[in-house]
Structure 1
Amino acid sequence: MKQEQESADARIYRSIFEGVLSRKLTPGTKLPEPELCALFGASRAVVRRALEKLAYDGIVVLRPNKGAMIAQPTREETRMIFEARRAVERSLVELAAQRASRTDIAALREQLAKEHEAMHRFDQPSWARLASAFHLRIAALAGNAILEQYLTELISRCSLIVGAYEPEGNAPCEHDEHTAILDCLEARDAEGANAHMSAHLRELEARIETSRMPGAKGLAQLLGIEPVQRTLVD
């Protein structure tokens, strides 16, 4: 039973997170608990656990007596998030350049190949996941769990901003930027890798458009899910 609960939590989390990345759920979209319960055939307890995890990751805002909604980052919050991310990734890249093995670099090359394939399938959620995973894999190679955790939290918040506010059609240039970073890591060129990483994040921030408004469709339409008719998962 516990495993079923965890699976339900993960399914709700993934659907909402991917709904943000694919621009189906825009900032400000309300997430009514009764509707989520009906959509996923889950109890309120399961739905609340998923929403609490999304809120912890900065994707959702929980408002007392008003329910949950997709977060609406401001321009100032966006500036601070990217500023913090550049600072954290600078340290991680320097450490990864020192510690990454040939096997680690080969694994990152495979990661980029999958990213490239998802990009050409026009699979935005998969590509966005793989693009974030590239940064997190570099963080893991740095060998500093505290910095890695900081980056994980920042990337979750960046994913919301990018998914909601970045214009479409930028995947190819971002993929090329990842390749340049990896080339420098392979050469143990920490300075070059940092220069490419900083430019990559600054260009990403510069592309953010904060003019998009929350959608007006119902939650079922936005997520593309038909309500399930089955016994609730406790």
Structure 2
Amino acid sequence: MSLNGAEEARGFHGRTAEPADRAAEIHAAILLAVVEQRLPPGTKLPEDQLAAHFAVSRTLVRGALQALAGDGVVMLARNRGAAVASPSPQDARDLFDARRVVEAATAARAAERAGPDGWAMLDRLTAEGRAALAEGDRGRAIRLSGEFHVALARLAEQPVLEAFLAELVARSSLVIALYGHRGRSDCGDHDHLGLVAALRDRDAGRAVRLMTEHLREIESDLDLGRARRVPVSLAEALRR
């Protein structure tokens, strides 16, 4: 699963593609809308509406939804269809516990292995996230923040952990959409800049400490006693 699906998720109409490619594009488009919080937890995902929107068969839509269910971002229920997953408070705690373990490992390894090109990539993602916030596009800022974390894992040259973290980051967007309340959960560029500085200094211990503190601060923004649910138009959310 990839968070970098924006380009893949465009251009459904008016071009020919293999069924597997179209299913992957539908998967990418829905995942992007979830990560950017345009499709909040609990949003219904009717096969017929999705098939009409993407101009494909319900069979292709069903395959994409099954893949998203495997990613943990969609729930499939017999006789009730598909909906964007709604993580429980315990799911949220478990998710951040997992992220702390995984990202401590990737931060330490990235401090050893990352070079100038990697540092520049992380700087670019941080700057783009800051620009998104300045433009009032919090959804894009959250996506870019997630891409920063996955990119850092890529610099650690640990592909298994990178793939696992990509799934955890996507599911984190659901948790933040449902329980975030102070706006801190979109990640701060100050924290990201500090992490990049630790990588540049080859200071693995500092990178681990900063990453752990960073994730705890994001988690502290969650109000697990109160879930926010905002109804949206499925067509409008995907059109954007």
- Give the gaps of 5 or more residues in structure 2: 1-14
Displacement over 6 Å in runs of 4+: none
Q: Which residue of 2 aligns with 1:43?
A: 57
Query: Residues 102 and 79 of structure 1: is their aligned pair in 2 closer, same or farther, counting only changes over 3 Å?
Result: same
Q: Note if 1:27 corresponds to 2:50.
A: no
- Contact 2:114/2:155 (8 A) holds in 1: yes
Task: Give the deviation of 1:213 after TM superposition.
Answer: 4.5
Which residue in 2 is equivalent to 1:212? Answer: 227
- Corresponding letter in the other structure for 2:131: E
SS at match of 1:31: coil
Q: TM-score, normalised by structure 2?
A: 0.82
Partner of 1:16: 30
Matched with 2:150 is 136
Unaligned runs of 5+ in 1: 227-234
Residue 119 (structure 1) aligned with residue 140 (structure 2)? no
Q: Residue 230 of structure 1 corresponds to which residue in structure 2?
A: none
Q: 1:135 to 1:36 in 2, by over 3 A?
A: same
Q: 2:99 maps to which residue?
A: 85
| CA RMSD in angstroms, aligned pairs only | 2.5
Matched residue count: 225
Structure 2 CA distance, aligned partners of 1:159 and 1:172? 9
Cα distance, 1:217 vs. partner?
Answer: 5.2
Bigger Cα displacement from structure 2, 94-103 vs 25-34: 25-34
- Quote the sequence identity (%): 36
Q: Residue 3 of structure 1 aligns to a residue in which SS?
A: coil
Of structures 1 and 2, the one scoring higher in RCO (CA 8 A, sep 6+) is 1
Single out whichever of 69-78 and 6-15 deviates more from structure 2: 6-15
- 1:105 and 2:119 equivalent? yes
1:179 matched residue in structure 2: 193
Tell me how far apart the structure 2 counterparts of residues 133 and 72 of structure 1 sit (CA, whole Å).
22
TM-score of the pair, normalised by structure 1: 0.84
